[in-house]
Amino acid sequence: MSLSMYQASVPVFTRMLANLSAVLKKGETHAQAKKIDPAVFINARLCPDMFPLVRQVQIATDQAKGCASRLAGREPPGYEDKEQTFAELYARIDRTLAHLRSFQPAQIDGSEERRVELKMRDKTVVLKGQEYLLERVYPNFFFHVTTAYAILRHNGVEIGKGDYLGL
């Protein structure tokens, strides 16, 4: 049996977003234990020209909800990108997970050739569904989840590969 587009997308995003939420909880717990203002972590960056933790989570959730929606031929829901606390980041992840759970395999399976239009700042990029998932969304999604993890790890949160993988 071949791997379906649904199986290659929704369960992958669901697992990694749940793992990201658990990593964020460890970050929040670490901040509380060390009496560090949680905003320090929320706004932390790996380097000055990279986005802070909050933006990494926003982009990861945008990638997941956008991908599932577009593969199903639906318009992705918009989020305001106004999160400033761990609780608000958890809520954003939970909203995204609920959105992902709203899809049935039949809505996404067979979308390998579906036309996906991405409106960029100054142009529109057109991709086929499989190309969109594997070459555009996967790299972006995993980059931002990994960077969020790395920001917390860099700031002393005791997390490891098992936390990232959800083991």
Task: Give residue-wise pLDDT tens across range 41-75.
Answer: 999 999 999 999 999 999 999 999 999 999 999 99
Which tens digits make up the pLDDT trace of 92-104?
999 999 999 999 9
Label residue 72 exposed, middle or buried (CB < 10 Å: 0-12, 13-18, 19+): buried
Per residue, what are the HEC states of the chain? Answer: CCCCHHHHHHHHHHHHHHHHHHHHHHHHHHHHHCCCCHHHHHCCCCCCCCCCHHHHHHHHHHHHHHHHHHHCCCCCCCCCCCCCCHHHHHHHHHHHHHHHHCCCHHHHCCHHHCEEEEECCCCEEEEEHHHHHHHHHHHHHHHHHHHHHHHHHHCCCCCCHHHHHCC
Structural domains of the chain, ranges and CATH numbers in brackets: 5-165 (1.20.120.450)
Confidence of residue 120 (pLDDT cuts 50, 70, 90): confident
Given a contact cutoff of 8 angstroms between Cβ atoms, the answer to whether 42 and 90 are in contact is: no
Q: What is the mean pLDDT of the chain?
A: 96
pLDDT tens, position by position, 76-91: 999 999 999 999 999 9
Return the pLDDT at 119: 86
